[in-house]
Amino acid sequence: MHAIVSKVMEVSGIKELNPVQQLAVENGLFGDQNMVVAAPTASGKTLIAEMAALKAVSEGRKVVYIVPLKALASEKFEEFREKYEPLGIKTAISVGDLDSNDPWLERYDIIITTSEKMDSLLRHGIDWAGQIGLVVVDEIHLLNDADRGPTLEIVLTRLKEVISPRILGLSATISNYEELAEWLKAKAVRSDYRPVKLYSGICHKKKVFLYPDIKKTLDSEDSLKELILDSIQKGKQSLVFISTRKNAEAAAEKMAGHIGEKLMTNEKRYLSGLSEKITDALEQPTRQCKKLSECMKSGVAFHHAGLVAKQRSIVEKAFREGMIKAIFATPTLAAGINMPAWRVIIRDLKRYSGWGGMDYLPVLEVWQMAGRAGRPKYDADGEAILMARDKAEAIFAWQNYILGEPEKITSRLGVEPILRMHALGLIANHVTMKKSHLHSFMNKTFYAHHYKDTALLGEKIEKVLDMLKDMGFIIIGDRNEKNGDFVIASDMNKDAKLEATRIGKRVAELYIDPVSAHWLLRCLKSERINGLDDFGLLHIICRCRELKPLLGVYRKDSAYINDIVLSEEGSFIEMPNEFDIEYDDFLRAVKTASMLKRWSGEASEESLLEDYNVTPGELRAKLDISDWLLYSMQELALILGSGHISKIRKLRIRLKYGIREELLPLVKLKGIGRIRSRMLFNSGFRSIDSLRKAPLESIERVLGGKLAESVKEQLGGMKEEKDGIEDFIEKSGRVE
């Protein structure tokens, strides 16, 4: 294996393995046993995965590299493609469409994906599953995450029990890494080595205490400002974690005036150009865009899920290049994106947690944020400073975050919505063909390994099976040998066969909650759907679990929300009594559907931010989920033979572009979105044929020269319209 080590080191530009990497090699990295490597952030765990991956590829096996976030998948894909494609190793990324088996992936050696996409690929019966020789799980401690953990757990259980590839888990430092390794039948490797020395501590009343023995006294009462300016004076950058988006933006704006005056002329010029790209990321910039643009001019940025992907990418790139001196971010930035800074400042140690009010952050999460301190290849050390608001919080932070141990990771699988979705997937794929098979499979999960309470898990599984049967997604029983009909078995019969119905199999492939699918089917079968308009369809999908959390309804909203309910009374499949517990959720769905309808009516992102407090990033996330639910509704309508497919498909395209129905023909053209299609329509170009017949000069007056020429070129390859928009709608299928 010496040749593989040498090749990885060569393409990575390193001369020797660090202690973590050497420890992994010594403990059998190139053997056949599974392995869990627990080490601090930025300790070089990715290189361990690369060495194992090259071994698997050299043996003619595929490598699946599972990451928690799409953004991290893109980052790994670019890194691996640049390093290994010159060696003839083909790298692919698959994170999108959850209703496809992506057959093209069979041609690739390393496949980077998310746990959700891998689960979907397995549900669609990928032909190359048996070729997988290695599965790398980056951030495997996220089994503890309530949103992403259960899917990762099911995927790992299915892989190890059905396909049996080698599994390499890369984890942050956690207390029960050995328990995790035991579940995977893996070799446990732990190291506290970090290539960049980390000094972590607290700041309270102008005093900074860094473990183990560094003390500093600040001059200013504004400790945060002084720490950031001190970093800049040293030629370094700061990453500041703040609990909410609103506060992160406010802190960035406040700091911009202090940092801007310290920039060099060339930096100001470069940042001015980037600030224009921030506003150009949207066709119509919002006040949030303008706020970020102004901050960027001063070498400051905020970073959170309210930004669109292009804006986040611009900020991250500028920070890596050293142009942005300080980023004010919500904790989501700590989840795996490669964004180190010399100094990390965690301003807020608490965050709002629903019914519990303000709670302290978990130790593991704080360590993940602190782990961003110190830039490998640039810094010899890094600082992570926790801001304490009072003496009690300072003592708590020192004892728990600086001297304490991270929490044990636990399984989040035992939640009913999670169990029913994955149980249906396992049954539909014939992984578990009997009740006893399903119970046996679930008894091999990390949940069963950790809690040891298989009786409680068994009760939950039986409840889920009854629910799936009642919804018509599975049949429990044995086939009659003579006619093939099912003989319904006793609910208590552990040997009863399990089989997904035709519609149950499709629901599993669509990757939505069976309860959501059942609701969509009820709506499609209802006579009331015949009279529903677009608002009615939107309200249907807003009642699905996938779109939660919905927009909140506050006291100031009461009047206009009630007006919508009265005016749209005929647009509801079901309307609960206002005294029912479901009524609040019903109203939240009304408000969310109203926002989506406004978007499809060509409302600007600025107006949605103003009226609904929905940022562009949040809007994009809601639109993506809405499209998927409408697509699922469309596919279920196909099975039912419903006549509403065209209406649903039109609404999907309108939501994608944010346009009224009259603009549907024009957005077929590449480069023509909601703004330009409206410009064309208002200038008299209301169809493809009208554009085809118009002289180039007329189109140039609306779109400009280059785009007008592009439109004319596209029109040359298009057939004359015969059926208006219907042909486009019918052929569109999934709107990508």
Q: What is the pLDDT of residue 354?
A: 64
Q: Which of 203, 534, 497 is nearest to 347 (CA)?
A: 203
Q: Which of 41-50, 499-508, 720-729 has the lowest mean pLDDT?
A: 720-729
Residues 88-133: pLDDT tens digits? 999 999 998 888 888 999 999 999 999 999 999 999 999 999 999 9
Residues 25-56: pLDDT tens digits? 999 999 999 999 999 988 999 999 999 999 99
In this structure, is residue 411 part of a structural domain?
A: no
CATH assignment of the domain containing 707: 1.10.150.20
97, HSE (Cβ side, Cα atoms, 13 Å): 11
Q: Which of 284, 277, 279, 249 is nearest to 605 (CA)?
A: 284
In this structure, is residue 316 part of a structural domain?
A: yes
Task: Please report which confidence band the pLDDT of residue 719 belongs to, taking 50, 70 and 90 as the band edges.
Answer: low
- Token pair listed for 243: 């609990």
3-state secondary structure 38-67: ECCCCCCHHHHHHHHHHHHHHCCCEEEEEE
In this structure, is residue 733 part of a structural domain?
A: no
Cα 638 to Cα 63, 729, 734, distances in angstroms: 36, 15, 14
Separation of alpha carbons 653 and 630, rounded Å: 10
C-beta of residue 24 within 8 angstroms of C-beta of residue 156: no
Dihedral sign, CA of 203, 207, 211, 214? Answer: positive
- The 8-class DSSP code of residue 660 comes to -
In this structure, is residue 263 part of a structural domain?
A: yes
Do residues 420 and 506 both lie within one domain?
yes
C-beta of residue 64 within 8 angstroms of C-beta of residue 111: yes
In this structure, is residue 727 part of a structural domain?
A: no
Do residues 355 and 498 both lie within one domain?
no
CATH assignment of the domain containing 583: 1.10.3380.30
Separation of alpha carbons 484 and 402, rounded Å: 65
Cα 191 to Cα 4, 381, 382, 478, distances in angstroms: 23, 18, 19, 53
Do residues 627 and 525 both lie within one domain?
yes
Whether 188 has a pLDDT exceeding 60, the answer reads: yes
C-beta of residue 112 within 8 angstroms of C-beta of residue 73: yes
Q: What is the pLDDT of residue 332?
A: 75
Separation of alpha carbons 631 and 507, rounded Å: 12
- Determine what percent of the chain is predicted with pLDDT higher than 90: 78
In this structure, is residue 734 part of a structural domain?
A: no
In this structure, is residue 729 part of a structural domain?
A: no
In this structure, is residue 408 part of a structural domain?
A: no
Separation of alpha carbons 21 and 383, rounded Å: 24
- Token pair listed for 280: 């150009």
Residues 6+ apart with CB under 8 A from 366: 346, 349, 386, 401
Domain boundary among 616, 645, 662: 662
- Token pair listed for 151: 């899917």
Amino acid at 277: K
Do residues 73 and 138 both lie within one domain?
yes
Task: Please report which confidence band the pLDDT of residue 722 belongs to, taking 50, 70 and 90 as the band edges.
Answer: very low
Residues 451-462: pLDDT tens digits? 988 888 999 999
The pLDDT mean for the chain works out to: 91
Whether 519 has a pLDDT exceeding 60, the answer reads: yes
Whether 348 has a pLDDT exceeding 80, the answer reads: yes
Q: Which of 639, 632, 645 is nearest to 519 (CA)?
A: 632
Domain boundary among 377, 402, 427: 402
Helix (H) or strand (E) holding 524: helix 514-525
Q: Which of 279, 339, 35 is nearest to 169 (CA)?
A: 35
Strands (E), 322-449: 326-329, 343-346, 350-352, 358-360, 381-387
Do residues 671 and 657 both lie within one domain?
no
Do residues 71 and 155 both lie within one domain?
yes
Number of folded domains in the chain? 5
Q: What is the pLDDT of residue 67?
A: 95
Residues 318-331: pLDDT tens digits? 999 999 999 999 98
Do residues 594 and 685 both lie within one domain?
no
Q: What is the pLDDT of residue 6?
A: 86
Helix (H) or strand (E) holding 550: none
Report the DSSP pairing between strands 343-346 and 381-387. parallel
C-beta of residue 113 within 8 angstroms of C-beta of residue 93: yes
Separation of alpha carbons 63 and 105, rounded Å: 11
CATH assignment of the domain containing 155: 3.40.50.300
Helix (H) or strand (E) holding 541: helix 534-542
Do residues 300 and 379 both lie within one domain?
yes
Boundaries of domain holding 504 = 416-510
Q: What is the pLDDT of residue 101?
A: 83
Helix (H) or strand (E) holding 170: strand 166-171
Residues 559-613: pLDDT tens digits? 989 999 998 888 899 899 888 889 999 999 999 999 999 999 999 999 999 999 9
Do residues 262 and 233 both lie within one domain?
yes
- Token pair listed for 551: 């927009």
Separation of alpha carbons 282 and 280, rounded Å: 5
Do residues 433 and 503 both lie within one domain?
yes
List the end-to-end C-alpha distance of the chain, in Å, as a whole number. 43
Whether 630 has a pLDDT exceeding 50, the answer reads: yes
C-beta of residue 551 within 8 angstroms of C-beta of residue 597: no
Residues 6+ apart with CB under 8 A from 438: 423, 426, 427, 432, 461, 465, 498
Torsion of CA 710, 713, 718, 721, to 10 degrees: 70
Task: Please report which confidence band the pLDDT of residue 487 belongs to, taking 50, 70 and 90 as the band edges.
Answer: low
Q: Which of 55-69, 471-485, 637-651 has the lowest mean pLDDT?
A: 471-485
Do residues 301 and 427 both lie within one domain?
no
Taking residue 258's Cβ as centre, other Cβ atoms within 10 Å add up to 17
Do residues 569 and 690 both lie within one domain?
no
Whats the size of the chain, residue-wise?
736
Domain boundary among 190, 206, 227: 190
CATH assignment of the domain containing 463: 1.10.10.10
Q: What is the pLDDT of residue 718?
A: 59
Residues 6+ apart with CB under 8 A from 75: 337, 338
Task: Please report which confidence band the pLDDT of residue 353 belongs to, taking 50, 70 and 90 as the band edges.
Answer: confident
Separation of alpha carbons 340 and 382, rounded Å: 9
Residue spans of alpha helices (H) in 184-244: 223-233
Can you say how many angstroms the Cα of residue 494 is from the centroid of all Cα atoms in its chain? 37
* Beta bridge mates, 383: 199, 343
Residue position matching structure tokens 């009343």 = 205
C-beta of residue 602 within 8 angstroms of C-beta of residue 487: no
